[in-house]
């Protein structure tokens, strides 16, 4: 264990634990956007920046990816961090002006309205990379960041209906600003220019998952443990409760 101070509070941290996780454990709130607990740190949005002094002077790092390796003095809300975070928030809000989380943070940090960038109207994606990371983590790699400058975006190759996309919707679920269009009808899901048929839950009969996504889950689940793979999340929960009560 290592001892660091965060905002003057002495804190014990595991070696190589990232600053964000140590701070969170102590109830110290650092704003984040691209960070997701189920994914490896991305360090792309920079909202979680903090000042770290490990003995050679303070430097600014992204707390979600910076590992604690030695004793250090960490500040999450220094004057410099607040000023930098304000600038980052201003740029993020320019891309997703309707997002309530960014609106709240901008109000909290008194971010003035900016007119620096002329961005396409209705732009929503903040290019944090969460969706790309989630898709890659599931082994699909159907989407990537393409283009440059204001034309930069996340898409399938050439905006086509990629054969790698299984319509699982994980990308839309992890998007922090709800920028990915995932349109569902009673038994179809349309995402990334591709329409999938939803197949019914084996217990309640309500369509809930694409065949392609279910096939991947079945393939990755250990033989003999297929159990409730075909059940929708609600039915899976109910079945687990039912089984536990009988034990």
**DSSP of 17-62, one letter per residue?**
-BHHHHHHHTT-----SS--TTS-----S-TTEEEEESSS-EEEEE
For 75, the 3-state DSSP assignment is strand
Stretch that binds ligand FES, among 42-50, 78-86, 173-181, 201-209 (CB under 6 A): 42-50
Q: Tokens 């009673």 belong to which residue?
A: 186
Question: Where does this chain touch ligand FES (CB under 6 A) — which range of 39-47, 85-93, 167-175, 235-243?
Answer: 39-47
Q: For residue 139, what are its two tokens?
A: 């082994």
Q: Which is nearer to ligand FES, 43 or 167 (CB)?
A: 43
Report in angstroms how near the CB of residue 191 gets to ligand FES at its nearest.
24
The strand ranges marked E within 39-193 are 49-53, 58-62, 73-75, 144-146, 153-155, 182-184, 188-191
Q: Which of residues 177-206 bind ligand FES (CB under 6 A)?
A: none
Provide, rounded to whole angstroms, the least separation between the CB of residue 30 and ligand FES: 8
Site size for ligand FES, by CB under 6 A?
12
Pick from 4, 34, 75, 142 the residue near ligand FES by CB under 6 A.
Answer: 34
Among 28, 44, 154, 169, the residue binding ligand FES under the rule CB under 6 A is: 44
Residues 6+ apart with CB under 8 A from 64: 18, 19, 20, 32, 34, 35, 41, 42, 43, 48
Q: Nearest distance from residue 115's CB to ligand FES, in Å?
A: 25
DSSP, residue by residue, 124-141:
------HHHHHHHHTT--
- 211 and 199 Cβ atoms separated by less than 8 Å: yes
- For residue 230, state whether it binds ligand FES (rule: CB under 6 A): no
From the list 19, 35, 111, 191, which residue makes contact with ligand FES (rule: CB under 6 A)? 35
Examine residue 134 and tell whether it contacts ligand FES (CB under 6 A).
no
Q: Is 68 in the site for ligand FES (CB under 6 A)?
A: no
Helix (H, G, I), strand (E, B) or coil at 210: strand
Q: How far is the CB of 103 from ligand FES (least distance, A)?
A: 18
Among 6, 19, 22, 46, binds ligand FES (CB under 6 A): 46
Phi, psi of 236 (to 5 degrees): -65, -45
**Interface ranges with ligand FES (CB under 6 A):** 32-35, 43-48, 62, 64
């Amino acid at each position: 264990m290592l001892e660091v101070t965060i905002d003057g509070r002495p804190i014990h941290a595991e070696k190589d634990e990232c600053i964000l996780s140590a701070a969170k454990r102590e109830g110290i709130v650092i704003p984040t956007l691209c960070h997701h607990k189920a994914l490896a740190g991305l360090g792309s949005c920079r909202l979680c920046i903090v000042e770290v002094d490990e003995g050679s002077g303070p430097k600014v790092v992204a707390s979600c990816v910076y590992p604690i390796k030695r004793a250090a003095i960490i500040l999450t809300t220094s004057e410099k961090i607040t000023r930098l975070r304000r600038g980052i928030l201003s740029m993020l809000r320019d891309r997703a002006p309707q997002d309530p989380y960014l609106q709240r943070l901008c109000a909290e940090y008194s971010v003035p309205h900016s007119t620096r960038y002329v961005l396409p109207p209705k732009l929503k994606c903040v290019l944090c990379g969460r969706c790309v990371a989630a898709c890659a983590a599931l082994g699909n790699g159907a989407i990537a960041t393409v283009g440059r400058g204001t034309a930069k975006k996340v898409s399938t190759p050439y905006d086509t209906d990629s054969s790698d996309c299984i319509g699982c919707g994980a990308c839309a679920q992890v998007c922090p600003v709800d920028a990915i269009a995932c349109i569902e009808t009673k038994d179809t899901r349309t995402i990334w220019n591709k329409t999938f048929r939803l197949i019914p839950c084996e217990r309640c009969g309500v369509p809930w998952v694409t065949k392609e996504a279910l096939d991947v889950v079945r393939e990755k689940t250990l033989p003999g443990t297929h159990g409730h793979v075909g059940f929708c999340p609600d039915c899976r929960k109910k079945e687990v409760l039912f089984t536990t009560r009988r034990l």
